[in-house]
Amino acid sequence: MSSFSVRPMAVGAEIIGLAADDPLDGDSAAGLYKAWLDHGILLFRGVSTVEQHLAITRCFGELEIHPVPEVRSATNPFLIELGAPFDGGGSRVPTVFVFDDDDMRINRIAWHRDTAYAPDICKGAMLRMLEVPEHEGETMVADTAKAWDDLPAEVQQRLETLEFKATLRTAHLNLTGRAGVFWDSVRLASDEEFPGNEERSQRDGALDGRYPSVIHPAVMTHPESGRKCIFLSPTYVDYFLDMERDESDALLTYLTDHMLKSDYVYMHRWQADDAILWDNRRMLHAGRGNSPEEPRFGLRTTLAGPLKTGRYFDPEATKPDLQLN
């Protein structure tokens, strides 16, 4: 049995002493799985190969192929590429945005759950960073089970019967001012500021509208731990069903602000060959972004085992759709 210890953090836990090249037997895998359910996110250090990445991920379930083909690795269908190698080879270069007038960034992603724009969200994911920027580039994770536990009882009761409509939005220009976004203004970098950016933006924007809107419950009982979680993916939420728009927006803002309190959030400052694995049923995550002049490149696996909590949106079965601002 591989020897390791679990060091709890304020949110999540770090796995200490697990030799990445040791075979993981059944007892080791079971111990890791229990720690994952207990803490929601695990941090591993020194995961230096794809083989180690895949082997650790498989301790937590079967792998699935990500539904967005543009991000899949050309070398392995179970891997997706996030960012781009500094030499520009082998990966799509993301669109560059200017945030809050002068903060030019790539890889900045608002708070969300993976694949929450689909009827069946994925079980979890493991991200390993190969190239790390000198400044920023952190990944943030928020625990929606802890956030649920601290909600007032009357709010919990209200949420139990609520559902929301969700739609995939990838363009940062569509997210300004929404709950779960940690910037006040955003624009595309001009072609003069970052050559080729307009072409990249058109390619990335083509994703919007490809995936039909879905309906999910506002609260989910975790199928393994039994803990209740606030099940929102803030940047995908259009509105709560059977609620006026102003009331829906106010509730979404309240819940998002609550979920993102510092007591529930872990921010990871990456080192090369770090890997973090989060329970997507329980945790939200976001990317702070980094300068386009610095490298940031990672590979991510996705865990199969969807919750099957959602269904496709049927406008005939609900009140008329409301336009987003």
State the pTM of this model: 0.91
pLDDT for 82 equals 87
Q: How many CB atoms lie within 10 A of CB 91?
A: 17
Instruction: For the chain of 325 residues, list the mean pLDDT of each consecutive stretch of 10.
Output: 85 88 78 96 95 93 86 88 61 80 91 92 95 94 98 98 92 86 92 85 70 95 97 95 96 98 98 97 96 91 87 75 49
pLDDT for 79 equals 94
CA distance 278 to 303: 10
Report the candidate in 71, 80, 92, 75 with the shortest Cα–Cα distance to residue 126.
Answer: 80
pLDDT for 24 equals 75
Measured CA angle at 176 (ends 175, 181), to 5 deg: 75
For residue 180, the SS3 value is coil
Q: What one-letter code names the amino acid at 296?
A: R
Q: What one-letter code names the amino acid at 135?
A: H
Report the candidate in 23, 28, 22 with the shortest Cα–Cα distance to residue 6.
Answer: 28
The HSE-up count of residue 70 (CA atoms within 13 Å, CB side) is 14
Backbone conformation region of residue 274, classed left if phi is above 0, alpha if psi is from -120 to 50, else beta: beta
DSSP 189-212: PPTTTSTTHHHHHHHHHTTTTSS-
Map tokens 């929404």 to a residue: 178
For residue 287, the SS3 value is strand
pLDDT for 21 equals 65
Q: Classify domain 5-312 at the CATH class level.
A: alpha beta
pLDDT for 92 equals 59
CA distance 191 to 195: 5
Sequence-ordered alpha helix ranges (H) in the chain: 26-39, 50-57, 144-149, 153-159, 197-205, 245-259
Domain boundaries, the chain: 5-312
Map tokens 């560059």 to a residue: 96
pLDDT for 305 equals 79
pLDDT for 63 equals 95
